[in-house]
């Protein structure tokens, strides 16, 4: 009753048809809390059928996602289930997030324990899991310090800010400080205005111009162009994914990354490796850059770090950290005890040498299987990637294959221009499951011929 | 596969890393060592020499000092933290490593609306963690859709876009506003792309939301940020009128109650004016209720107190009871300009976070809950006025519901410090001279009395040291 009494002389209306456009000019929308029955809405309505869920989504969510027509309601290991109980083999891991699969026992334990202790206090105060997680990340990487965030895009935004501050800090007297960035074709760094400015796909940026200024796009792998531009002295940092995920599963060459490293050193620019997708064991190395013997000044992480909970991290060297002061950057949620405790469970597992070795082994096996079973098909141009990030480039759109696989109980993703099948299963996937995945894909290949 | 390669012409990075993995797992104080007269560069990765971190060994939980020291070594120094290490909480009480108890009037910066370890919230998290945590937005999932439906049912909005934080919610609002303008004026060569924001505003730290945040120190080291933002004095109708321009202004961003900025509430007249001005100029009105929304004012939405409705409302902080979440609520008119692929997020709308949020929303939106927030807010303001109002340092006590600011004529830090020593945690706002009180909405009247008493008893500390 309280809230209604305070509304000022406005007619109250009960909602409303979504078709009325200028509704707000005519009605005051009262909160419906009076009409909501408490007990019904506490539990998620698990009795909702797939069709109902999809319909409801179409009515109440902003239409940003063209989703696959599957409603996922539960999961265990590498298996996912819809409300009707149909089972799917998961080779997407929620876009390379569920590295330990679904419902990992240790992860669940870490979440349950911490949820019963302390979830969030903000960064006004100290808390333990955050510091523990940072210690571990520092201990097993090139980095000296960590800044936590809530997502990959936020981790890249922090990297952008740290790079610009670093340049201003190290060259305080210079009239023209390096504030620009280099990013590459087929890159993906995020959707917020800074990270978006670094993301090459024009359709992602154009409707929202002007984004953050100062980004130069060069061709991924073009050593000469990159070296020349870095020499100009205008570049605060170079952002590069050692393996481009969204862009199509393209791996950098050692020469490319080494040339970026040298050029950055000579010019005083920073080298930022975006390992949001390819980091944390995905390649069979803990960090993708280990495969190249090149070490960055900043590395951004997210996706698998907290096993499905929102998290990001920007790992930096001491020289970068030294430029950052209290108040320069921040986040209310980031580094929270619950999310960090979950991340500790994930990091502890993934960083074990046997775990990483098994990812390598399974990755090689999977690639072999795929080459063997699919390599002969005329639509298959290339099978690439390493560890458990694999791309199958086709000469046609991959969607019919994705659809057919889904109908056969296998979930896979696409990448690049839609003609690359992206396979990023949970890192705990078994060889048997990989065999099954390869088998299903083989059986479904004919779907590519139907529409052609 | 995991071998170290130390290439011939460059060597190990800032010795601390070199020394660290050869000697101990802990970072030593940084020393730079030059090898062969060259600046150290590591080309090797460290993982093979570091033992897999032992999760059973919580070395840092031994004492507060140890934790604070370690933080100082391994985290980027962005936060000037209060010297308290919190390890557990229940209701409105928090406990540090040594077991000291604190009364929480911060709720993690207006996040823990249901206090710590609310049983229903914990159940929602535990239950969902056993079922499904995340699948991404490539697929449909149930809690997300349920949560969106509830938000739509109890607000002006027709549709929801989920994010992982308040800054991300504002970034989405920025993008939606610009897309809306382009979409509604497809033949216009230069559609409206600019924004108006206000003095003492805070919308976030990522490059778009940052551009909307007035505090210059937050922006200047990172220029150039997103262009197109004009700052106008909060509450100044005339100045705003001069700045909103048809065909130029895409949207106006305003907090009905400015939190970080100092607990300044808009007047009804100001918000009414903004609504009309936006309508006339074809601009969108965005209410940032990241801090003041979701019951904080005693109303479900702060704007209900004014009877003015926005085109977009951004939420975050308390929505999922402490888990990272943000939401951008929009009208159909705005939503209809957004297409597949325009925006996205990997994590946002995840099943576990949304299931937690369903519990929070369900509790907060109950009329009795909101009424009690109102009642407690009035009561708290009264006793603060009684106990502190007479003190010469207190300029004003303001706010609505359980977001209250005590403006002082001196920096508030000595008071914060003294309160903390007496077991009360409070925040500051504005230029550091405003005490910000944003307790869990479940705080009891008894706890509010205790808080007011502690504040009163601590006031003399403001006289001890008046100079900066």
pLDDT interval class at B158 (50, 70, 90): very high
Task: Specify the pTM.
Answer: 0.90
Contact B422, B458 (CB under 8 A): yes
- Residue window 35-64, chain A: list those with CB within 8 Å of chain B: 36, 38, 41-42, 44-46, 48, 50, 53-54, 56-57, 59-64
pLDDT interval class at B6 (50, 70, 90): very low
pLDDT over 80 at B188, yes or no: yes
Report the chain B residue with the minimal C-alpha distance to residue A316: B76
| Contact across the interface for A126 and B13, Cβ inside 8 Å | no
pLDDT over 70 at B155, yes or no: yes
B417 touches chain A (CB under 8 A): no
* DSSP assignments along B103-162, one per residue: EESSHHHHT-TT-BS-HHHHHHHHHHHHH-----TTSEEHHHHHHHHHHHHTSS-SEEEE
Residue pointed to by tokens 């949020």: B357
Question: What residues in A contact B154, CB-CB < 8 Å?
Answer: 31-33, 36
Question: What residues in B contact A364, CB-CB < 8 Å?
Answer: none
Task: State how far residue A348 is from chain B, nearest Cα, in angstroms.
Answer: 6
- Given this model, what pLDDT does residue A24 score? 40
pLDDT digits (tens, 9 = 90+) for B216-230: 999 999 999 999 999
Task: Return the ∠ at Cα B341 (arms to B338 and B344), rounded to 5°.
Answer: 90
Report the chain B residue with the minimal C-alpha distance to residue A141: B46
| Contact across the interface for B120 and A42, Cβ inside 8 Å | yes
The two three-digit tokens of residue A415, written as one number: 């990448």
B357 φψ region: left (φ > 0), alpha (ψ -120 to 50), beta (else): alpha
Average pLDDT score over residue span B279-287: 98
| Contact across the interface for B145 and A19, Cβ inside 8 Å | no
pLDDT interval class at B39 (50, 70, 90): very low
Predicted complex: ipTM over 0.85: yes
Alpha-carbon distance of A410 to A402, in angstroms, equals 8
Q: What is the pLDDT along chain A (452 residues), one digit of tens a residue?
A: 334 334 444 443 444 444 433 444 444 444 444 433 333 333 444 679 999 999 999 999 999 999 999 999 999 999 999 999 999 999 999 999 999 999 999 999 999 999 999 999 999 999 999 999 999 999 999 999 999 999 999 999 999 999 999 999 999 887 778 999 999 999 999 999 999 999 999 999 999 999 999 999 999 999 999 999 999 999 999 999 999 999 999 999 999 999 999 999 999 999 999 999 999 999 999 999 999 999 999 999 999 999 999 999 999 999 999 999 999 999 999 999 999 999 999 999 999 999 999 999 999 999 999 999 999 999 999 999 999 999 999 999 999 999 999 999 999 999 999 999 999 999 999 999 999 999 999 999 999 997 55
CA A154 to each of CA A134, A274, A356, B136: distance values in angstroms, whole numbers, following the listed order: 17, 12, 27, 17
pLDDT over 60 at B10, yes or no: no
Contact A359, A429 (CB under 8 A): no
- Given this model, what pLDDT does residue A277 score? 98
Report the chain A residue with the minimal C-alpha distance to residue B308: A28
Residue pointed to by tokens 């010297």: B83
Residue pointed to by tokens 């989405």: B172
Alpha-carbon distance of B291 to B305, in angstroms, equals 15
- Given this model, what pLDDT does residue A259 score? 98
- Given this model, what pLDDT does residue B104 score? 98
pLDDT over 50 at B8, yes or no: no
| Contact across the interface for B132 and A321, Cβ inside 8 Å | no
| Contact across the interface for B47 and A326, Cβ inside 8 Å | no
- Given this model, what pLDDT does residue B466 score? 52
Torsion of CA A375, A380, A383, A389, to 10 degrees: -120
pLDDT over 70 at B413, yes or no: yes
Task: State how far residue B371 is from chain A, nearest Cα, in angstroms.
Answer: 5
- Given this model, what pLDDT does residue A177 score? 87
Of B387, B109, B415, B417, the residue nearest B263 (C-alpha):
B109
The two three-digit tokens of residue B42, written as one number: 């590591």
């Amino acid at each position: 009753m309280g809230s209604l009494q305070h509304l000022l002389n406005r007619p109250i209306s009960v909602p409303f048809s979504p078709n009325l456009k200028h509704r707000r000019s005519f009605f005051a929308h009262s909160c419906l809390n009076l009409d909501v029955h408490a007990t019904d809405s506490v539990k998620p309505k698990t009795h909702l059928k797939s069709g109902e869920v999809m319909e409801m989504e179409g009515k109440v969510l902003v239409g940003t996602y063209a989703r696959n027509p599957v409603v996922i309601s539960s999961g265990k290991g590498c298996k996912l289930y819809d409300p009707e109980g149909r089972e799917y083999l998961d080779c997407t891991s929620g876009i390379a997030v569920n590295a330990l699969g679904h419902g990992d026992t240790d992860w669940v334990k870490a979440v349950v324990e911490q949820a019963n202790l302390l979830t969030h206090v903000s960064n006004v105060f100290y808390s333990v899991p955050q510091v523990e997680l940072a210690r571990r990340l520092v201990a097993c990487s090139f980095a000296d310090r960590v800044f936590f965030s809530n997502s990959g895009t936020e981790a890249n935004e922090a990297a952008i800010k740290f790079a610009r501050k670093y340049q201003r800090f190290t060259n305080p007297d210079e009239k023209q400080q390096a504030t620009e960035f280099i990013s590459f074709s087929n890159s993906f760094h995020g959707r917020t205005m800074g990270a978006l400015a670094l993301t090459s796909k024009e359709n992602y940026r154009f409707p929202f111009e002007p984004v953050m200024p100062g980004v130069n796009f060069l061709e991924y792998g073009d050593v000469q162009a990159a070296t020349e531009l870095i020499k100009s002295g205008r570049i605060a940092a170079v952002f590069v994914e050692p393996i481009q995920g969204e862009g199509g599963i393209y791996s950098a060459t050692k020469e490319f990354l080494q040339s970026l490293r040298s050029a950055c050193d000579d010019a005083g620019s920073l080298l930022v490796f975006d390992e949001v997708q390819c980091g944390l064991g995905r390649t069979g190395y803990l960090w993708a850059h280990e495969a190249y013997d090149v070490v960055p000044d900043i590395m951004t992480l997210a996706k698998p770090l907290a096993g499905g909970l929102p998290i990001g991290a920007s790992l930096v060297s001491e020289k970068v950290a030294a430029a950052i002061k209290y108040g320069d950057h921040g986040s209310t949620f980031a580094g929270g005890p619950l999310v960090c405790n979950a991340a500790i469970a994930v990091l502890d597992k993934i960083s074990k040498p046997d775990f990483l070795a098994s990812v390598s082994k399974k990755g090689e096996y999977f690639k072999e299987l795929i080459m063997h079973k699919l390599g002969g098909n005329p639509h298959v141009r290339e099978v690439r990637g390493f560890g458990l990030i694999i791309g199958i480039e086709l000469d046609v759109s991959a969607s019919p294959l994705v659809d057919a696989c889904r109908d056969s109980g296998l979930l896979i993703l696409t990448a690049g221009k839609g003609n690359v099948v992206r396979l990023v299963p949970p890192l705990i996937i078994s060889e048997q499951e990989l065999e099954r995945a390869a088998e299903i894909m083989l059986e479904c290949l004919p779907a590519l011929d139907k529409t052609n | 596969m995991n071998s170290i390669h130390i290439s011939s012409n460059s060597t190990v990075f800032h010795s601390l890393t070199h020394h660290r993995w050869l000697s101990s797992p802990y970072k030593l104080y940084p020393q730079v060592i030059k090898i062969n007269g060259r600046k150290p560069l590591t080309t090797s990765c460290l993982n093979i020499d570091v033992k897999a971190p032992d999760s059973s060994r919580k070395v840092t939980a031994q004492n507060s000092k140890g934790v604070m020291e370690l933080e100082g070594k391994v985290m980027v120094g962005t936060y000037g933290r209060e010297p308290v290490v919190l390890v557990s909480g229940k209701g409105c009480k928090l406990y540090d490593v040594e077991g000291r108890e604190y009364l929480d009037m911060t709720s993690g910066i207006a996040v823990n609306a249901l206090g710590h370890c609310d049983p229903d919230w914990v159940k929602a998290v535990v239950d969902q963690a056993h079922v499904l945590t995340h699948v991404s937005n490539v697929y449909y999932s149930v809690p997300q859709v349920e949560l969106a439906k509830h938000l739509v049912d109890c607000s002006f909005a027709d549709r929801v876009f989920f994010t992982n934080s308040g800054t991300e919610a504002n970034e989405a609002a920025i993008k939606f506003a610009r897309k809306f303008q382009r979409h509604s004026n497809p033949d216009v060569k230069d559609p409206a792309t600019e924004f108006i924001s206000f003095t003492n505003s805070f919308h976030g730290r990522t490059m778009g939301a940052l551009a909307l945040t007035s505090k210059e120190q937050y922006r200047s080291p990172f220029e150039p940020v997103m262009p197109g933002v004009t700052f106008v004095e909060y509450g100044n109708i005339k100045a705003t009128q001069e700045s909103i321009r048809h065909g130029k202004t895409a949207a106006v961003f305003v907090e009905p109650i400015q939190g970080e900025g100092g607990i300044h509430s808009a007047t009804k007249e100001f918000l009414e004016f903004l609504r009309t001005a936006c309508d006339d100029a074809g601009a969108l009105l965005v209410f940032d209720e990241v801090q003041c929304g979701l019951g904080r004012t005693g109303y479900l939405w702060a704007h209900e107190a004014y009877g003015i409705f926005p085109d977009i409302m951004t939420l975050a902080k308390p929505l999922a009871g402490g888990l990272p979440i943000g939401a951008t609520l929009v009208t159909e008119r705005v939503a209809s300009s957004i297409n597949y692929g325009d925006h996205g997020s990997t994590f946002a709308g995840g099943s576990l976070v949304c299931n937690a949020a369903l519990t929070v929303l369900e509790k907060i939106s109950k009329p009795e809950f909101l009424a009690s927030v109102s009642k407690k807010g009035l009561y708290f303001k009264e006793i603060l006025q009684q106990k502190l109002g007479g003190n010469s340092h207190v300029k004003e006590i303001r706010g609505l519901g359980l977001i209250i600011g005590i403006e002082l004529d001196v920096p508030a830090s000595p008071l914060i410090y003294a309160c903390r020593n007496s077991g009360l945690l409070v925040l500051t706002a504005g230029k550091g001279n405003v005490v910000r009180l944003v307790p869990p909405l479940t705080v009891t009247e008894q706890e509010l009395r205790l808080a007011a008493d502690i504040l009163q008893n601590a006031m003399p500390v403001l006289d001890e040291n008046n100079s900066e």
